[in-house]
Amino acid sequence: DLAMINRMLQSFAHTPQPVPWRLAVNVSAKTIECAGDEYFNALLRLAPYTRRLIVESTETYCPDDQRVVADFAKRVNDAGMYIALDDCSPENIHWDRNFVKVVAPRFLKLDGGFLNSCFQSEDAAPIQALLDLGRRVNAHIVAEGIDSRHKREFVADIGVGLLQGWLFSKPVPLPSITPLSACQV
C-alpha cells in the first residue's frame, strides 16, 4: 500500500498541482493496523496533487479491532479525503451493518463478482439491501464491474448512480494517465 502511494508521488512530481480529477488508492486494514500513521502521512503528501483523494479500504483482511479502522477513517475524513469500503459483498466485513456504521464511509463499492451473480440471476434484492445500508450511513453506492450496457441498465434501474468498469475504461499504466484523458473517461 505504501509502495503504491510512493510510486504515485513520484509520478506526480512533475505534474501541475492539482490535477482536475479524483484519485482513489487502496489500503488494507492490515496496513491501517500496522502502519496507519505512516500511510496517513503519505496520503497527506499525495492529496494536494488531486482534486479529491478517495481511500478505499480493501476487504482482504478482517481487522482485529474495528475501532482502529474507524479512527483511521475519521482522520481521513477530517483531512478532507473520502473513505470507501471496497468490494462489498455478503461474504466480507464491508457488508456488516455494524462495521459500516462504525467506519462511516462516503462510498460503498458493490463487488463486481457479486453484482455479476445478481445480474445473472436477475435478483436485485441484495443490491437493494446495500443501497438501504448506504442510505442509513449517508454513503453513495458504486457498482464495480460494469462491462456491458445491460449491466449498467440493471444497476441504474435499481437506483445505483455511480458506476465503474471496463464499459467506461480499461485499466491503464500510471504514467499514461493524464488529466485530459482522465476527464474524458
What DSSP state is assigned to residue 65? Answer: -
**pTM reported for the whole predicted model:** 0.87
d(CA 57, CA 81): 13
Digitized pLDDT (tens) for each residue of the chain, 185 residues in all: 999 999 888 888 877 777 777 889 999 999 999 999 999 999 999 999 888 899 999 998 888 888 999 999 999 999 999 999 999 999 999 999 999 999 999 999 999 999 999 999 999 999 999 999 999 999 999 999 999 999 999 999 999 999 999 998 887 765 555 543 443 33
d(CA 176, CA 51): 19
d(CA 74, CA 93): 18
From 120, 134, 47, select the one nearest 88 (Cα to Cα): 134
